[in-house]
C-alpha cells in the first residue's frame, strides 16, 4: 500500500524543492495551477469519460453518495458557522472534507486492497459527473462575481472543466470518438494533469501568506471528517443496506481515501481557501496510510 503513496510524495517534494530554490519563479504555483485547471484537467476528464461506460447506480454507490453528502455538508457548515468563512471558502472546506483522491491514489490502493477497481470506477464517475459541477457552481456563486440565472446558464461555456466533462459524457453516450489526430494530443495533455497538480501543490508549500484565524483547528476538523467521518458514515449506511462483506470493504476503503489534490487546484483558481485546501490535502494524504491500513485489517474478509 505504501508504494501507492510514493509518487505523490516524490512529486510534491520536487515541487517544494523547486519553490524553495526558486527554480520556476515566484508565481509558479499559480501558473501551473492555471495550466491544470484550464488545459490538462479538461483533457484528462474528456479522455477518461469518453471511453468509460457511464453507470452510477447500485446500493454501495448510493451509500458512498450519502457519506459524501453528509461530510461535505458538515464541512460547509463547520467552515461557515464555526470558523466564519465566506461561502467560497466554505465550499473549498466542504470539498476538502468529502472529495476523495479517486484516480492517482485510489486506483492503486483499490487494486492492492480489493483486487480490482470496479467499485472505484463508479465512485470516480459520481464525483466527476455530479459532485464536480455542483462544486464549481457554488464556487462561481461564492466568489466576488455577480450571480444570475444567465450566468448560471452560461457557466458550462465558461468553465473548461465542465466543457471537458460534457464532451466526454457525450462521446461515451453516443459511442463516437474523435479521430486520433484529436485524441492523441488530448491524451498527452491529460497525462500532465496529475503530476503538474502535485508539483503545484509542492510549490505552494513555500508560499508564505498571512494565516487565517483558527486555520489549524479547521484543518484538523476537516481531516477528521475526511478520514474518520466519511468512512464511518459509509460503514453505517452500508450496514443498514445489508451490504456483503466484500462490498462493505470496497465502500469504506473508498470513503477513507484522502482529499484530492484537485481541491487545491480549484481553490487556487477561484482564490478561495487555498491555504486550508493545501494543508488538508497534505495532512489527509499522510494520515490516510494509517487509517486505510486499519480499515483493511478490520473489514477484510478472512
Q: State pLDDT tens for residues 198-236.
A: 999 999 888 766 555 578 899 999 999 999 999 999 999
Establish if 151 belongs to a structural domain.
yes
CA distances from 163 to 30, 138, 228 (A): 21, 17, 34
d(C-alpha 167, C-alpha 43), whole Å: 10
How would you label 214-252 residue by residue, b for 16+ Cβ within 10 Å and e otherwise? bbeebbebbbbbbbebbbbbbbebbeeeebeeebbbbbb
- What's the pLDDT at 81? 95
Nearest to 107 by CA among 254, 9, 266: 254
- What's the pLDDT at 147? 52
Cell of 133: 459541477
Q: Which residues contact 149 (CB under 8 A, 6 or more apart)?
A: none
pLDDT tens per residue across span 38-64: 999 999 989 988 887 776 668 999 999
Angle in degrees, CA 36, 38, 40, rounded to 5: 45
Establish if 20 belongs to a structural domain.
no
Nearest to 61 by CA among 270, 250, 275, 274: 250
Establish if 19 belongs to a structural domain.
no
Establish if 14 belongs to a structural domain.
no
- What's the pLDDT at 100? 96
Q: Which domain holds residue 138?
A: 2-7+28-299
Establish if 242 belongs to a structural domain.
yes
Res. 169 pLDDT band, cuts 50 70 90: confident
Establish if 214 belongs to a structural domain.
yes
Q: What is the CATH number of the domain that holds 271?
A: 1.20.1530
H helices present in the chain, as ranges:
2-20, 28-35, 41-50, 59-77, 87-98, 106-113, 118-126, 132-142, 149-158, 160-174, 180-191, 193-204, 215-224, 230-240, 245-255, 262-270, 274-299
CA distances from 285 to 9, 24, 118, 202, 261 (A): 9, 25, 22, 13, 9
Cell of 44: 484528462
Query: What 8-state DSSP symbol labels residue 215?
Result: H
pLDDT tens per residue across span 255-289: 999 999 999 999 999 999 999 999 999 999 989 98
Total domains in the chain come to 1
d(C-alpha 154, C-alpha 181), whole Å: 29
- State mean pLDDT over 23-45: 91
Establish if 17 belongs to a structural domain.
no
- What's the pLDDT at 266? 94
- pLDDT, averaged across the chain: 88
- What's the pLDDT at 162? 84
Residues β-bridged to residue 100: 259
Establish if 23 belongs to a structural domain.
no
Amino acid at each position: 500500500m505504501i508504494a501507492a503513496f510514493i509518487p505523490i510524495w516524490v512529486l510534491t517534494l520536487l515541487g517544494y524543492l523547486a519553490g524553495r530554490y526558486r527554480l520556476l519563479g515566484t508565481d509558479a504555483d499559480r501558473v501551473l495551477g492555471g495550466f491544470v485547471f484550464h488545459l490538462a484537467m479538461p483533457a484528462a476528464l474528456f479522455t477518461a469519460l469518453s471511453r468509460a461506460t457511464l453507470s452510477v447506480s447500485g446500493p454501495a454507490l448510493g451509500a458512498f453518495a450519502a457519506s459524501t453528502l453528509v461530510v461535505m455538508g458538515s464541512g460547509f457548515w463547520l467552515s461557515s458557522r464555526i470558523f466564519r468563512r465566506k461561502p467560497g471558502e466554505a465550499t473549498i472546506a466542504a470539498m476538502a472534507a468529502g472529495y476523495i483522491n479517486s484516480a492517482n491514489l485510489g486506483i492503486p490502493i483499490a487494486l492492492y486492497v480489493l483486487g480490482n477497481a470496479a467499485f472505484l470506477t463508479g465512485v470516480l464517475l459520481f464525483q466527476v459527473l455530479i459532485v464536480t459541477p455542483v462544486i464549481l457552481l457554488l464556487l462561481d456563486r461564492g466568489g466576488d462575481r455577480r450571480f444570475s440565472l444567465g450566468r448560471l446558464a452560461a457557466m458550462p461555456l465558461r468553465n473548461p472543466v465542465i466543457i471537458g466533462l460534457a464532451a466526454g459524457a457525450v462521446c461515451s453516450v453516443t459511442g463516437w470518438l474523435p479521430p486520433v489526430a484529436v485524441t492523441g494530443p488530448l491524451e498527452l495533455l491529460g497525462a500532465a494533469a496529475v503530476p503538474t497538480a502535485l508539483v503545484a501543490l509542492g510549490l505552494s508549500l513555500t508560499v508564505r501568506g498571512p494565516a487565517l484565524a483558527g486555520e489549524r483547528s479547521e484543518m484538523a476538523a476537516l481531516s477528521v471528517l475526511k478520514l474518520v467521518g466519511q468512512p464511518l458514515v459509509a460503514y453505517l449506511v452500508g450496514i443498514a443496506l445489508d451490504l456483503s462483506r466484500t462490498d462493505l470493504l470496497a465502500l469504506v476503503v473508498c470513503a477513507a481515501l484522502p482529499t484530492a489534490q484537485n481541491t487545491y487546484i480549484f481553490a487556487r483558481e477561484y482564490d478561495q481557501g487555498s491555504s486550508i485546501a493545501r494543508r488538508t490535502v497534505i495532512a489527509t494524504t499522510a494520515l490516510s496510510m494509517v487509517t486505510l491500513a486499519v480499515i483493511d485489517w478490520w473489514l477484510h474478509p478472512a
